[in-house]
Structure 1
Amino acid sequence: MERLVGKKAPIFEMKAVSGDGQEFIKVKLDDYKGKWLVMFFYPLDFTFVCPTEITGYSKRVDEFKKLNAELLAVSTDSEYSHQAWIKGNLGKINFPLASDFTKTVSRDFGVLVEEDGVALRGLFIIDPEGNVRYSVIHDLNIGRSVDETLRVLAALQTGGLCPIDWHPGEETL
């Protein structure tokens, strides 16, 4: 797989459902120009670890907004599955769920498990100019850390060198 960090993010356009499950929308990379985008892939709706991540990020959306960042969650489920999940046991969230039903976006970002047709838990931070600045890909069984995502986002925005265990408000090198 070719690295994405330091390169322009793959261009995408996907069907999605709004966080309240009330409307179908389209989301595309250009929608996020001028803002940071935290785009994260998850395997499937109606599973076990996925709702913990989605609701965890949703609860802290204001912290991302303070850093001029938007959140977008993506899986290979349809937008109809996303809507049923939101209206069912997931509940309202504060960002859209995008459908990569064709698996093109998951493949372009290097997270698709071809034989299963699902995405690994990939997370990408894209800067306001559309460049991938950070990526991490987890095994299907391991959830991500909202704290670590916020820490890395803040570190990227310093423009400085951030040593191990750096936290916002601390000196950079």
Structure 2
Amino acid sequence: MTDVIERAKKIKLLSCDVDGVMTDGALLFTSEGQEIKAFNILDGQGIKMLQNSGVKVCIITGRTSAMVQNRAKNLGIEILHQGREDKIDAIQEIAQDLNITLDQVAHIGDDLPDLPVIRKVGLGVTVPNGADLMKEHAHHCTTRSGGKGAVRELCELIMKAQDTLADAHAFYLK
């Protein structure tokens, strides 16, 4: 865990997959074919706290969904790449735009399209409901599953490593 904390201290950008990470991975459709996604409110609060601490957050997903666009907007996430199966190219573009290195990036993903990113970034994270190969290559696996607070757990891990979590909590304890 010491290695994970050291890696988390350097993070300036958290990159998140959606299905299986920000959601539980279930794809729900109405009878009209409209997609429905359920996001966890704990993750949203964690993302807001992390952003307030100075760490940027982006979303990179292979699918395209108006629901994801709305969720990103609601959370103030300005960097959203949808329909990107080439996630490693996307994260390299984002890092270049932000003038940061890949060792300053954390990425959380659950399946093989995330594997190249997990292997290249400073802090590669997966979830318990992720593919076994992801767990073999990730630096860390959250205790909470995707869609059940895994992103919040990672946000708090980064903030704790960077000594910003107590300040975020202090706002609510006053």
Q: Shorter chain as normaliser: what TM range?
A: 0.3 to 0.5
Structure with a larger share of its residues in helix? 2
Q: With structure 2 as the length reference, what TM-score do the two structures score? A: 0.42
Structure with a larger share of its residues in strand? 1
Q: With structure 1 as the length reference, what TM-score do the two structures score? A: 0.43
